[in-house]
Amino acid sequence: MEEEAEAEEQQRFSYQQRLKAAVHYTVGCLCEEVALDKGMQFSRQTIAAISELTFRQCENFAKDLEMFARHARRTTINTEDVKLLARRSDSLLKYITDKSEEITHINLERKARKKKKSEDGNHNSRELAEAGVVESEQ
Amino acid sequence: MADHDPDSDSTPRTLLRRVLDTADPRTPRRPRSARAGAQRRALLETASSRRSSSQTKMTTRRHSHGARSISRSAYVQASGHLKEQTPRTLLKNILLTAPESSILMPKSVVKPVPAPQVVQPSRRESSLGSLELQLPELEPPTTLAPGLLAPGRRKQRLRLSMFQQGVPDFPLCLLPLTSSLNLTFATPLQPQSVQRPGLARRPPARRAVDVGAFLQDLRDTSLAPPNIVLEDTQPFSQPTVGCSPRVYRSPPCMPHTGAEDTELAAGCKKRSSGPGMQTNSPEKPAQFLAGEAEEVDAFALDFLSTSSGVSGEDGVEPLQDGVEEAEKRMEEEGVSVSEMEATGAQGPSRAEEPEGHTEVTEAEESQGTAEAKGPGASSGDEDASDRAARPELVSSTPESLQARRHHQFLEPDPPPGAAVLSSEPAEPLLVRRPPRPGTTGPRPQQDPHKAGLSHYVKFFSFYAKMPMERKALEMVEKCLDKYFQHLCDDLEVFAAHAGRKTVKPEDVELLMRRQGLVTDQVSLHVLVERYLPLEYRQLLIPCASSGNSVFPAQ
């Protein structure tokens, strides 16, 4: 039992390390872009600090999102939860709301298209079925 | 027998001698005490000039030490000589037969009680003259008893306690004759009082309990708790200091009738007005008025008339006894109202606020006085909600609640508790106050705003333990302001997130979780248990009681 727990922990730890490495790599890429843009260099410690910060903040975000979803008596995290999370920073909130509106719009469009397609499909199938029934009856 | 009559001083001695001679040596203490008794007898002979009562005390004490259980024969002998002996000897008999009580085991044996009863009927049989004669004899010992207690003579103390406990029936025969003795005998002092002579001298001041007042108080206490909790949710609120004694005292206020109650009420009020919360006391009369009116329509007019007239005479007569105390408190309210008049009314918005509220009450004359003072509050909703809850209350606990509500009002943010109240049916009051939200301009909002913040700034400066500059305090005030605004915004957003319009405790818990106060290890209940007083804890943490009922119901 203890060995299993330890193995699990090690697994989790290694998983975490991999995630951290991935975050670190992404942060490094972003910092390089900003460095090229602004003409300033980033030291390694800075990038490491930023990546560590990002990782921990992501953990916090996740916990908060889960809390918000539970507070609204849901089991899935919604865009509402994300908006609630970003409410502190005005620009970020605005950005997120714009994006969320875009996404919902896209979703609606997709749904509309799907509905049309499914309706056509239904019409066809119905006609076929009716025809089939008529034929069978006759 | 003939020996006893001639010397009055030596009769106790002779009696003692006789008893000792006839008593059976049962315990090993006997022979020792017999020897001691002889020595003491010698002492007694030398101190013949002593007062008879002290002598009697000493001899009886000696004898009690010596003769734990007096044989019937000896006693019969003693009683046989009753009629011929002086009253002092009769007293002696009683003292002799009283059981000995040790310091460790205060309670006395029941056995000797019948013995003095035997004595008493015999004494009663004797003429009243002997009884009356006993009076002067007994008074010195009783008066001496407290006096003896003070010097701290242990044995004397034992004697007295023995006497009082072991001879409960003794004073009965004397009751019709003396009233002074009642104090020391009719109310038998506990051994505690014997050990604390200061308390022994004060007879307990008991007054007859008003059944009506008692029932009213029961109703008050049953109704009061939910409102106490919901109104004050601040951790460091001053009202807990000032109100807990008030809460503690307000129920006991009721049983005491008359002057005591007015004194207490006045004391409570003075304390509340003392800390400089001037908005507090003007609230009280209005709140009290409203509460009273809501509670009992018949009394409302009388109360309000008393408050306006500051004379309870008109109101007292038609009302029952149970309401007298409340009326007297109303008089005090009227006094405090007049005080507040002198101090000056608050902003006009505050005057308007009780308008709608006092519409609820019936009397209109005194409303003018109440309106002029009127309590102030930043958010009308809080007032409405709190006053909606207020009608449920009865007079006994408005004082305690006033300070809390005042404290809550002074803050700009609606504590979740008040918002919970607002969710309760506050419609009648909200309906009657439609113009209020428009009338509360920014200026009145700022005053309680700042006043509340200054309250917290005072806390800050206290806990800093260092002198602070004024600018620093101003900055602290600004920070607190922003902090509370953020807090309220968050609460509002959380409530909206859950699709609600009212802030509930779940929202507060979510906020505390975000703040890091509530974690996976530390739950809200743990914090409640740690920091809040017991009354709040009982209300916030549901606990199951018998019969499948959970209190408080959720």
Alpha carbons B371 and B355: distance in angstroms, whole number = 6
Helix (H) or strand (E) holding A40, with range, is none
Alpha carbons B540 and B14: distance in angstroms, whole number = 74
DSSP assignment of B426-484 equals -HHHHHH-TTHHHH--HHHHHHHHHHHHHHHHHHHHHHH-S---HHHHHHHHHHHHHHH
Q: Is B117 exposed, middle or buried (0-12, 13-18, 19+ CB in 10 A)?
A: middle
Query: Best of A71, A77, A85 to disrupt the B interface by mutation (most B CBs within 10 Å)?
Result: A71
Task: Please say whether the beta carbons of B182 and B175 come within 8 A.
Answer: yes
DSSP assignment of B480-548 equals HHHHHHHHHHHHHHHHHHTT-SS--HHHHHHHHHHHTSS-SSS-HHHHHHHHS-HHHHHHHS-EEETTT
Question: Per-residue pLDDT for A35 more than 70?
Answer: yes
8 Å CB contact of B493 and A68: no
All domains of chain B, ordered by start, with CATH? 469-540 (1.10.20.10)
Question: Per-residue pLDDT for A45 more than 90?
Answer: yes
Mean pLDDT, range B171-183, rounded to an integer: 47
State the pLDDT confidence band at B417, using cuts at 50, 70 and 90: very low
Mean pLDDT, range B31-60, rounded to an integer: 50
Task: Please say whether the beta carbons of B422 and B385 come within 8 A.
Answer: yes
| Residues from chain A contacting residue B513 (CB–CB below 8 Å) | 67
Greatest mean pLDDT among A107-111, B56-60, B100-104, B453-457: A107-111
Question: Per-residue pLDDT for B284 more than 80?
Answer: no
| Residues from chain A contacting residue B510 (CB–CB below 8 Å) | 67-68, 71
Alpha carbons A90 and A97: distance in angstroms, whole number = 10
In 3-state terms, chain B is what percent helix, strand and coil (to 5)?
Answer: 70, 0, 30
> How many Cα atoms within 13 Å fall on the side-chain side of residue B197?
15
State the pLDDT confidence band at A67, using cuts at 50, 70 and 90: confident
Report pLDDT for B522. 83
Nearest chain B CA: its distance from A70 CA (Å): 9
Which of B498, B513, B514 is nearest residue A72 as measured by Cβ atoms?
B498
Question: Per-residue pLDDT for B347 more than 90?
Answer: no
Q: Is the peptide bond before B282 cis (omega within 30 degrees of 0)?
A: no
Nearest chain B CA: its distance from A33 CA (Å): 34
Greatest mean pLDDT among B80-84, B280-284, B500-504: B500-504
Mean pLDDT, range A111-124, rounded to an integer: 86
Place of tokens 């875009």: A102
Report pLDDT for B374. 38
Chain segment B503-537, per-residue pLDDT in tens: 888 888 888 888 888 888 888 888 888 888 888 88
DSSP assignment of B191-233 equals HHHHH-HHHHTS-----PPPHHHHHHHHHHHHHHHHHHHHH--
Percent of chain B with pLDDT over 70: 25
Nearest CA in chain A to B493: A84
Q: List residues in chain B touching A: CB distance below 8 A.
A: 493-494, 497-499, 506-507, 510, 513-514
Nearest chain A CA: its distance from B509 CA (Å): 10
What angle, rounded to 10 degrees, do the helices at B11-22 and B52-66 form? 10
Nearest chain A CA: its distance from B506 CA (Å): 8
Number of residues that make up chain B: 554
Residues in a beta bridge with B544: B550
Place of tokens 């730890």: A13
Alpha carbons B307 and B284: distance in angstroms, whole number = 12
Question: Per-residue pLDDT for A52 more than 90?
Answer: yes
> To the nearest whole number, what is the mean pLDDT of chain B?
56
Nearest CA in chain A to B519: A63
| Residues from chain B contacting residue A64 (CB–CB below 8 Å) | 514
Alpha carbons A38 and A32: distance in angstroms, whole number = 10
Nearest in space to B212 (alpha carbons), one of B360, B335, B333, B327? B327
Which of B493, B499, B510 is nearest residue A67 as measured by Cβ atoms?
B510
8 Å CB contact of B510 and A72: no
Nearest chain B CA: its distance from A94 CA (Å): 16
Structural tokens at position A102: 């875009």
Greatest mean pLDDT among B157-166, B224-233, B271-280, B513-522: B513-522
8 Å CB contact of A64 and B514: yes
Question: Per-residue pLDDT for B266 more than 60?
Answer: no
Question: Per-residue pLDDT for A106 more than 80?
Answer: yes
Rg from Cα positions in chain A: 25
Task: Please say whether the beta carbons of B354 and B370 come within 8 A.
Answer: yes
Alpha carbons B497 and A86: distance in angstroms, whole number = 13
| Residues from chain B contacting residue A72 (CB–CB below 8 Å) | 497-499
Structural tokens at position B553: 């119901």
